[in-house]
A and B are shown apart, each in its own frame.
Chain A
């Protein structure tokens, strides 16, 4: 009874809360890091060193007036940010934060669940997330958001193909779709998959940048383009939901990259007994540390690179990344058959 209901419920509560708090503080982290990259300080006034800035942001957004444009489709207008947010959150059900540990006298697995089609679940849920963007642009009943949302969704579905092909290469290496067994196969192979599949990792990361509408692929939502993109007509809490969804997607891409390419919860050199002193850090700390590195790289890339134009973006997705991903898959298959 406790094992079936209470423990998963507790895990879900912990993960959801951690995600929402993490997403709110990601906003602050981004502003700070971009500020430091530009030789300034970022938010410093609210709380010591600006640490309470997200709280102030949240209160402001909740108290803002929720405007619905006239002649907008009310139901679709309301539901679009929800459709954007839900896939970003339910992906956490399969992300493994750590192995089975002993807590309070019980064997508790540090992941909510482990389904045997975990990776396919992540990809399919991500492809449902496109609807939020399309419907937001359509429901706004205004030209700029409609065009921008069509552009954004075209970008998303183009880069989805490249990302899925790289994930297939990882599946070839590990032999299973379940996230936990992908980490276990990295343990058994004694090497993180990023070193075995560098091309796949790079393509996955670039595709992840494009999937989450992050710079340099953030044309659909940049303020200088199309007057603000598909969330022009949104205000208040609905606008907040879109941004939270974007940051949650960023954390999801970082977590998935960590699990698939960088060993998940494994410490560096997990099979080398001499480095046993590194085990003082629990497994989930390693996971969070590695995900944080990726999040930092996301923000770093935003502060550094200029924005891609739309035709350059599409050309990159279709003419460069997809052929590279297919070539990587073919080479992986050939090497795996011939050598193993």
Chain B
């Protein structure tokens, strides 16, 4: 069976759902951030698959922007984690409830 974009979309959906499960089930905030990176990669796979099907590199340009945004988000998110860890000594997301009592 030739590899159609359907295969890539199914792969992308599966990777997306694995990322979503990671975000929902794990409590370590660094693993949650890494699952978000998995979600972004799933979207990138989808974009590049369509770009190759349509013979138009627009999908790859979009994927480059997704990577740039993911880099920015990772930097800022990890900065927040470090600042929080310095105050509370924990990376358990269930304990990150400073604004609630």
User: Do the two chains touch directly in the complex (Cβ atoms below 8 Å apart)?
Assistant: no
Q: Which residues of A contact B (CB under 8 A)?
A: none
Q: Which residues of B contact A (CB under 8 A)?
A: none
